[in-house]
Chain A
């Protein structure tokens, strides 16, 4: 199989994912009507569908750890962020439950989604079992939403203060980088199911290893690097947005009188 054949033929139909997307879109329209922010939601759903139905998914399903990592990042960090950004600004995600409102919980959610799913048994199971895979996808979306809620909640007062948010994002980046570094330089396979693909279902093993030159060790390295470097750029972009928010926000409004000394 050539690269071109692979890219054109390996699109899969994911009914559950499409139904889920349809339900989300309908619910959004029912609740908020059409507004400009729906573009974020459409982007999120398109990305979600691409992640699960494109050749990327074919690669992630047993061939390439790095493809899996890309999916992981998209589902945990990009899709939930876009969904939160699509909500109209009056929507309250406030909660009296300290569990949801606590930044510490949000941080743990975001970081544990990275660490736990790369424990060897879980990582393997997510490839070999459909059920675990579905569980993984939904948990990533959920945990990502809990993580981003601290930063991207529609209402200003429900978000963290900008300097706090910078620390939150920075420390999350460090925590994920450490895992990325471990995966990149680990002498052992993190997810052995990718190191020895059980059966070459699609007949693309030769394409990947000879034509693309991605042997298993390199594959794991790329996966680790994806988690280490580009993922930090996602956090970095959010940090830039937070700094902009901090320095710009009250200056844009009318000058507030200072407290007397």
Chain B
């Protein structure tokens, strides 16, 4: 086969004949989960190159003592951008891309539940990434570290626009991630093939499902923190500024309430890849499927409970430290269960050390080291000694690179044949593997020692102390090994795309459904599905005489398949509840003691009560509207819908009047803590009511022009749920802001 025909053949794979006429649009306007998955990964790759160059610059600066390659400010920009980019623009998009590509295939679905929402999610990534990097042109990027501790990130200390771009960009990315999380959950709940019960989900799909819950629970916490920071910076709010009465520690709490689970948001997909690859190349089903699946649930649960271990050095007091030491150490149990299960899968198996398997076994070992140093950080006194030293840097790079990047590379080598129809090169793959492994360990293992010797992180240079120079030199050399591995990897990707051996449907003899279709799969994914009785349908299909034990269908929950739109709205509401939860907690925290100056006592409770009654009544009217729809009485439905819109409108006008009179008497966002928290909480609620009104107007418009038959109009039910939620939030806000001051 000469080169030209092979390139043509590849292009044929990538585009259908009709699409070749408008090939740019075919990818830019795609709503196909497979293409969206690849767009996610390509975006991640671009940012990986950028953040990788930043990492190399950091290592070059640290190669020798008293270096002047980067000044202190530039160094601060580099580590901030490196961390932020690697987490939000590399790890998350690439993993979301793999999950996006594989999940629907693995559960035998045609596509994700909401393909257009999926497209929104993927395009928000470059949008957020460009916003973040635009700060280079707008006075300099953020220089505050990836967690942007206040008050450093507040205007008095970071007056450039960098932090604003950082916060807005993360807000955009956070919204995209929540949309992806909702999509994963609803896809698993509603798009599974017949026979694919929840208990028959392969581990990759199960963990994607569990991970999505973590995404929708904690990304809103970050979003709430970001809007609070932005209100501080742009509207002179007082949330995190100590001299305005605010609490800088509160930022740390909220950030780490997100930040710790975030580690698991990128680690669980890595676990998922390991759980898929290791059994296939050990030629055995995973050891203790149920334990791996259940321990994932427990990890999700515990990860939400331990954030304060990031704050041992803040001085929370011995009582707080003690509880969080205990809780943090406990996480070692479910993660240990996973390590044992993967190891036990290999024991007695016919292990084939292909490139994907090599990466996954290495990930397992690196994760063991990173996990152990993690447990050492969970012990407060040790943490006091090693926090913010290179020991910590070594620890989390063992997780982020040793586990996650290695698992990603393993996953790409494993699924590339499915995505492209061609194999990647085993020979180059082994080179990539060894360069990466050697480079990684040269770079980071020695940093444990450097950290214990006292070298602090985030400092642009260091004096020529005994031992420090050669150890830093080793670390920098290792980083260039990793860079070489990355270049080789990209080369392998491109070369294999055009010249790789044809893969066939199932090159690895794997057992899950993504291998039951052509490589790459057709637009509709499957022509026909094999019967599904267990977690390894292709094994059962190939070995009818000795199939896996049937995983039985027991009870309604196994075949649970809720309405798609309602499931989507409910998942969205759960994530919104997290967002409002943080705003409400911040309000309570700052208003627990009465402030001097204007406070809740000055509010006109009577007027607001009247407007609130209108809002509460609108929950009743929208319910009547749904009753009208069910009775097939469209006139009634529309009339009650209009009543809902009018009542909601009255509420919004009422809130506007209240704001106006407050502004008139000089109460603005920046006045004091009460004003900051009050306007943030009620303002975001008002914003949600406004969006709800828009949605109601759209529903009314659709209902007017379309011909609704049999009382089926799921959009009304979905907006109804959202509207009730907004009302329930107001019950809390109204009680806390307006009624509570009257009784205490």
Contacts and interface: CB of A to CB of B under 8 A. Distances in A.
Interface stretch (B115-123, B319-327, B398-406): B319-327
B556 interface: yes
Nearest to A225: B323
Interface string B294-330: 1001100110110000000000010110011011001
Contacts of A55: none
Contacts of A230: 323
A211 B579 CA distance: 43
B195 interface: yes
A134 interface: no
A187 B581 contact: no
Contact of B298 (A178, A187, A240): A240
B666 interface: no
Interface stretch (B262-270, B478-486, B545-553): B545-553
A256 B298 contact: no
A258 B551 CA distance: 9
Contacts of A232: 301, 305
A188 interface: yes
A255 B298 contact: no
A228 B319 contact: no
B319 A256 contact: no
B298 A261 contact: no
Nearest to A121: B743
Contact of A184 (B305, B320, B556): B320
B549 A221 contact: no
Interface in A206-261: 218, 221-222, 225, 228-230, 232-233, 236, 239-240, 243-244, 246-251, 253, 255-259, 261
A160 to B, nearest CB: 9
B592 A225 contact: no
Contacts of A163: 198, 557, 560
B305 A218 contact: no
Contacts of A170: 301
A257 B531 CA distance: 13
B199 A161 contact: no
A239 B593 CA distance: 37
B291 to A, nearest CB: 9
Contacts of A250: 552, 554
A38 B708 CA distance: 60
Contact of B294 (A181, A240, A259): A240
B593 A187 contact: yes
Contact of A229 (B323, B552, B581, B593): B323
B127 interface: no
B195 A243 contact: no
Contacts of A145: none
Interface in B553-595: 553-557, 560, 581, 585, 588-589, 592-593
Interface string A180-219: 0110111110000000000000000000000000000010
Interface residues of A, number: 45
B426 interface: no
B290 interface: yes
Contacts of B581: 178
B319 A247 contact: no
B635 interface: no
Contacts of B323: 225, 228-230
Contacts of A244: 294
Determine chain B's interface SS by DSSP, over half rule.
Answer: helix
Contacts of A185: 253, 589
A232 B326 CA distance: 13
Interface in B601-628: none
Given A188-B593, A255-B550, A256-B552, A182 B305 contact: no
A164 interface: yes
Which of under 10, 10 to 19, 20 to 34, or 35 or more describes the interface residues of B? 35 or more
B536 interface: no
A229 B290 contact: no
Interface string A123-157: 00000000000000000000000000000000000
Interface in A156-176: 161-164, 166, 170, 173-174
Contact of B554 (A182, A188, A256, A261): A256
A57 interface: no
B194 interface: yes
A187 B592 contact: yes
Given A161-B555, A182-B588, A256-B552, A166 B326 contact: no
A218 B552 contact: no
A259 B553 contact: yes
A222 B585 contact: no
A243 to B, nearest CB: 4
Nearest to A182: B588
A173 B304 CA distance: 11
Contacts of A236: 298, 301-302
B320 A225 contact: yes
B638 interface: no
Interface in A65-114: none
B293 interface: yes
Contact of A256 (B327, B550, B588, B589): B550
Nearest to B253: A185
A177 interface: yes
A230 B322 CA distance: 12
Contacts of A256: 550, 552-554
Contact of B326 (A222, A229, A258): A229
A251 B555 CA distance: 13
A249 B301 contact: no
A200 B302 CA distance: 40
Residue among B293, B297, B588 with most chain A CB within 10 A: B297
A164 B553 contact: no
23 contacts: A161-B555, A166-B297, A173-B301, A178-B585, A186-B589, A187-B593, A221-B317, A221-B319, A221-B320, A225-B323, A228-B305, A228-B323, A233-B327, A239-B297, A243-B293, A243-B298, A247-B199, A247-B290, A251-B549, A255-B549, A255-B550, A258-B552, A258-B553
Q: What 10 A-B pairs have minimum CB-CB distances, sorted nearest first?
A: A250-B554, A247-B290, A256-B552, A243-B294, A161-B557, A250-B552, A229-B323, A225-B323, A255-B550, A188-B592
Interface of A: 120, 161-164, 166, 170, 173-174, 177-178, 181-182, 184-188, 218, 221-222, 225, 228-230, 232-233, 236, 239-240, 243-244, 246-251, 253, 255-259, 261
Interface of B: 194-195, 198-199, 253, 290, 293-294, 297-298, 301-302, 304-305, 317, 319-320, 323-324, 326-327, 330, 531-533, 549-557, 560, 581, 585, 588-589, 592-593, 744
Given A243-B297, A251-B552, A259-B195, 7 more contacts: A161-B557, A185-B253, A225-B323, A239-B297, A243-B290, A258-B531, A261-B532
